[in-house]
Amino acid sequence: MAILVISGLAVGLAFGYALQRGRFCSNTGFRDVLLTADSTMFRAWALAVLVQLVGVTALNSLGLLPISVPPFWWAANLLGGLVFGAGMVLAGGCSSGTCYRVGEGMSGSLLALLAFGAGLLVMDRGALAPLQRALQNGVIGADGESLTLANLLGVNSWLVVVPLVVAAGWWLFRSGGSKYRSGGWSWQRSGLTLGFVGIAAWLSSAASGRDFGLSMTGPLRVWFEGIFLGGLALDWGAFLIVGLFLGAFVSAASHKELRWRVPKGERLLQSAIGGLMMGLGAQLAGGCTIGHSLTGLSVLSVASVVTTASIIFGAWATSWWLFVRPARQFQRQSQPAITGD
Amino acid sequence: MSYDTDMTQETLDVRGEICPYPLFEARKKLEALASGSRLEVLIDYPLALDNITRWAESAGHEVLEVVEVGSSEWRIVIARA
Amino acid sequence: MRSGRGLVAVGIEIALAALLLGAAGLGLWQLNRPLPNANALIAREIPDSAALVDARGPLAFGRGHLPGARHLWSRDLLSFEESAGSLADSEELERAVRPLRLEPGAMVMVYDDGDGEEAALVVLVLRAFGFDARFLAGGVQAWSARGGELSTTYAPEQEASPVELEFDRRLVVEPAEAHAHIAANEVAPIDVRAREGYLGGHLEGAVNVPVSELLAGGDPPRYSVLSRSLGPARITRDTHPLVYGATPGQAALAWLVLAAYGVEHIHVLGDPYPALVEEGFAISETSTPAATSTRTSSVCWR
């Protein structure tokens, strides 16, 4: 039914709106934990995962929702995650962050997005396709099923979900937030909203015959492939992307945050390189911070756990190298000047 | 809101920059200043507003002023601790 | 000014929340609604006007069948000449079907002992001959469980009816034709054998949809099972599903469920998988389907 495919647009609108309001970006979330010891965005992300995890597991165990689990290719997940994590720090946003910023008028993000598309195609169809074929083979999984934390331990999903929710929930609500805000949502509100958008995405997308939740890598590739290589097949995900841009645009416009922003030239180049790396990494790992770190985790996929860990490691290493290391050098240089005053 | 304009004040314009550069540059610049001096940061990115004020407070600096000077444009004034 | 802006934002948020709930609700309903087509192919009651056909073996039929049932053993539709149990050619099929003396286009209820494969094969062949054949859910087991009497009256040998019968070769395709369709990328091959069989080798580009998975869809079957199973297969307006199994009966049963789910233009291969290997179909052992279908396979849409 066409309306089911187009319902991707409705989910995308809400998704884009929530991303912009919550300033939600896994890059910010993962990076700030290291860079400024600020876990506000990380909490939003964790809450979104938990809400979706409980919702999807409940719908699935009631037999109301079929789910599919990303396959575990350890080498592709590890390498792709690292490259993606490094790329998102350079580009200043993960795939969702980049996309919602395009909706706000960030020129660097637009450039990163185009480079992301190029990266997807190079890894999927271009020069690096043999690497993808080599690393994405060798699916590890019990009797053909993709590996999840539950079937790895041989237990019911709830036996994994409940302890996870209790532990993470305790950590989440232990301490509060901050005073100044630019009119964006609190982490609680972002996390809850994105969690519910994620559940709605599973339902709506599965009904259209695409049984997975929110994702960006695949849908973006559909668009880039369709535009540059021909044969555009509009599925649920393709509409999700359109909705995302529109939703972020509506959110930014209605809050007067819309503005064409142009950074200096070297930063544009950095965004483009970062975008390209994100594209290569996401395609290799079979997903990005949305497909793996939000949706894949909600079905306890081992591939998603590994990819997410790898993305965080890649992001931290790059952040350290780009921001922490130069700051330390700078402090060492400027120390005498300050004390001399 | 007013503040003493006689105090040494530096200006940092990071409009158009992506995350985390506004925060990063503000931090670099502020930490190079003498204690008590003020830094005016011009930003046009909402997330940077959250980031910079949150960081400044946690680092013990004083956020003197946050003014929305235009459409999605803010001026933040921070006093170095 | 500020409150005006706030009001607009609240309005937008309410509208978006409504859209999101609508999409989720529509999805939930679609995933779990009973299928509209199910009753057209899978019957639970026997209308008075319908003819009854027993698809079980002669011994079972002789021991007791539904009153008034005619007999067509599903095995009589198979040919064991060349390889193990392919569907017979259309002349042989016609010779087997003719003694049922059915009116053209007649409604026929077909049953077996409840296992399904035998009755499904007879339904498939009768449908290909243009009869309005339906599968009687549960077969003899369900009939007896409801307290239905079984008859042992021996059905006399019946004379062949003189009517022209035409066999639909789009529904039941010849291997040679299937070969051409696959080469031209006009069909989406669907392997309905169990997972182990599929992993041991399957037609190139085929997606595995075990028949057991289809049957687990509840009664009446729900859409979610179908959308999950057929998700990886790239079925479009121009690319129709081509079903094959370990036996013609298995393929027929999968066809029946898929058709009941509302999948249109299904082609069924009357030859079992081993026969297809002998026929020289391209075989693949990788579990991710080749060529175009990888683009929609489970990994690639995220």
d(CA C224, CA A59): 12
- Chain C residues whose beta carbon lies within 8 Å of the beta carbon of residue A205: 27
pLDDT for C296 equals 28
pLDDT for C301 equals 28
Just list the catalytic residues of B. Answer: 19
pLDDT for A219 equals 93
In angstroms, what separates the C-alpha of A257 from chain B's closest C-alpha?
A: 5
pLDDT for C282 equals 83
In angstroms, what separates the C-alpha of A275 from chain C's closest C-alpha?
A: 17
d(CA C144, CA C111): 13
Substitution target in A254, A256, A311 with the highest count of C β-carbons within 10 Å is: A254
Q: Can you give the pTM of this predicted structure?
A: 0.75
Nearest CA in chain B to A112: B18
DSSP bridge partners of B65: B77
pLDDT for A144 equals 54
Long-range pairs for C149-152: beta carbons < 8 A, 24 or more residues apart = C149/C67, C150/C63, C150/C64, C150/C65, C150/C66, C150/C67, C151/C64, C151/C65, C151/C66, C151/C67, C151/C68, C151/C69, C152/C62, C152/C63, C152/C64, C152/C65
- Where chain A has pLDDT below 70, the residues are 1, 138-145, 175-183, 330-341
pLDDT at C288 over 50: no
In angstroms, what separates the C-alpha of B31 from chain A's closest C-alpha?
A: 8
Which chains does chain A touch, 3 or more C-beta pairs < 8 A? B, C
- Chain C residues whose beta carbon lies within 8 Å of the beta carbon of residue A288: 302
pLDDT at B38 over 70: yes
pLDDT tens, A249-287? 999 999 888 888 888 888 899 999 999 999 999 999 999
pLDDT at C21 over 80: yes
pLDDT for A230 equals 83
d(CA C16, CA C27): 16
* DSSP single-letter state for residue A322: I
C211 — pLDDT class (breaks 50, 70, 90): confident
pLDDT for C158 equals 59
Between A70, A199, A204, which is nearest C302 by CB? A70
Locate C292 and state its tokens: 């175009």
Locate A94 and state its tokens: 């993960």
10 Å Cβ neighbour count for C229?
Answer: 26
- Chain C residues whose beta carbon lies within 8 Å of the beta carbon of residue A129: none
- Chain B residues whose beta carbon lies within 8 Å of the beta carbon of residue A325: none
Higher pLDDT pick, A140 / C199: C199
Substitution target in B13, B14, B15, B19 with the highest count of A β-carbons within 10 Å is: B19
CB-based contact B50 A267, cutoff 8 Å: no
A93 touching chain B per CB within 8 A: yes
C128 — pLDDT class (breaks 50, 70, 90): very high
pLDDT tens, C49-90? 899 999 999 999 999 999 989 999 999 999 887 666 889 888
Higher pLDDT pick, C295 / A290: A290
Locate C66 and state its tokens: 């539904």
C-alpha neighbours within 13 Å on the C-beta side of residue A275:
25
Which chains does chain B touch, 3 or more C-beta pairs < 8 A? A
In the A/B pair of chains, how many CB contacts fall below 8 A? Answer: 103
Cβ contact A–B (≥3 pairs, < 8 Å): yes
CB-based contact A207 C22, cutoff 8 Å: no
Q: Rg (Cα) of chain B, in Å, rounded?
A: 11
C220 touching chain A per CB within 8 A: no
pLDDT for A36 equals 74
pLDDT for C84 equals 67
pLDDT for A329 equals 75
The interface predicted TM-score of the complex, written ipTM, equals 0.90
Whether the Cβ atoms of residue A281 and residue A81 lie closer than 8 Å to each other: yes
Cβ contact A–C (≥3 pairs, < 8 Å): yes
* DSSP single-letter state for residue A261: B
Q: At what angle do helices A107-124 and A217-229 cross, to 10 degrees?
A: 80
DSSP bridge partners of A105: none
Whether the Cβ atoms of residue A285 and residue A124 lie closer than 8 Å to each other: no
- Chain C residues whose beta carbon lies within 8 Å of the beta carbon of residue A296: 302
Locate C196 and state its tokens: 């182990």
pLDDT for C216 equals 67
pLDDT for C298 equals 29
pLDDT at C121 over 90: yes
Residue with structure tokens 């185009």?
A114
Buried b (16+ CB within 10 A) or exposed e, C87-107: bbebeebbebbbbbebeeebb
Between A92, A180, A184, which is nearest B63 by CB? A180
pLDDT for C83 equals 60
Upstream peptide bond of C220 is cis (omega within 30 degrees of 0) = yes
d(CA C84, CA C254): 20
Nearest CA in chain A to B55: A36
- Chain C residues whose beta carbon lies within 8 Å of the beta carbon of residue A237: 301
pLDDT for A180 equals 47
pLDDT tens, A179-214? 445 567 888 899 999 999 999 999 999 888 777 899
pLDDT tens, A284-302? 999 999 999 999 999 999 9
The share of chain B scoring above pLDDT 70, in percent, equals 90
- Beta-carbon contacts of C48 under 8 Å, excluding residues fewer than 6 positions away, are none
